[in-house]
């Protein structure tokens, strides 16, 4: 599949032109179909999380979710990931080899909210947990903290139902602030990051973790009856 043509052929997807009967255009149409599939799965997860958050607001006067962010991998990123895995570049290969085409990032107010949201979501009958990576209990060497889930959710199409994987990252506001800065440095200035700067970043992550724990403790003291 020639992913370099995908964005150029976006208009061609719904228009009569020279691509329409070509093999290349068929591949492009397949890509848009799978992109729509993953986007639908992302919407399903978004709706489920919003419902959980709204229920907590009504029952407990507390929103565990501060906000959410969403993203679909770009064609370029998909190709790079498949190449890194030494996989075929095709729509079938995307389904078979990638679990992070659709991503949802959930930013919580407190540490306890992270596991609460994760557990409530994965206990739902139509959600299948594929992988759970707890980088809060076991932070990465650079200090990164977050809870990562890969789940499948059914997407009901006109003629079929497909279980589609979605990657979910759940973390606090403070964890997200740190991760955003670390990500920017990693991808924009990797060669310029000194060992001293890496040390400071890790120390900052540890400081943020202590602040998160203290904020959770304060919240519990203010709200002793809330579990």
Positions annotated as catalytic residues are 167
The sign of the torsion formed by the CA atoms of 217, 219, 222, 224 equals: negative
- Angle of helix 111-122 relative to helix 23-60, nearest 10 degrees, comes to 120
CB atoms within 10 A of CB 41: 23
Q: What is the DSSP letter of 141?
A: T
| Cβ neighbourhood burial of 168 (10 Å; 0-12, 13-18, 19+) | buried
Q: What is the DSSP letter of 17?
A: S
């Amino acid at each position: 599949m020639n992913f370099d043509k995908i964005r150029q052929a976006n208009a061609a997807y719904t228009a009569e032109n020279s691509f329409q009967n070509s093999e290349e255009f068929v591949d492009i149409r397949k890509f848009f179909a799978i992109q729509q599939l993953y986007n639908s799965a992302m919407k399903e997860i978004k709706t489920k999380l919003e419902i959980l958050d709204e229920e907590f607001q009504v029952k407990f006067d507390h929103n565990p979710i501060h906000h959410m962010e969403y993203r679909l991998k770009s064609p370029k990123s998909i190709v790079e990931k498949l190449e890194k895995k030494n996989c075929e570049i095709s729509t079938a290969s995307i389904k078979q080899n990638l679990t992070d085409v659709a991503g949802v990032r959930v930013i919580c107010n407190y540490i306890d909210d992270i596991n609460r949201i994760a557990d409530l979501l994965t206990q739902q009958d139509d959600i299948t947990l594929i992988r759970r990576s707890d980088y809060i209990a076991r932070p990465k060497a650079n200090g990164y903290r977050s809870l990562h889930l890969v789940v499948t959710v059914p997407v009901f199409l006109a003629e079929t139902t497909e279980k589609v994987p979605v990657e979910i990252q759940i973390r606090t506001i403070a964890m997200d602030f740190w991760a955003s800065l670390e990500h920017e440095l990693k991808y924009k200035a990797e060669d310029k990051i000194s060992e001293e700067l890496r040390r400071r970043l890790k120390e900052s992550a540890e400081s943020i973790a202590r602040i998160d724990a203290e904020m959770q403790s304060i919240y519990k003291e203010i709200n002793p009856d809330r579990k």
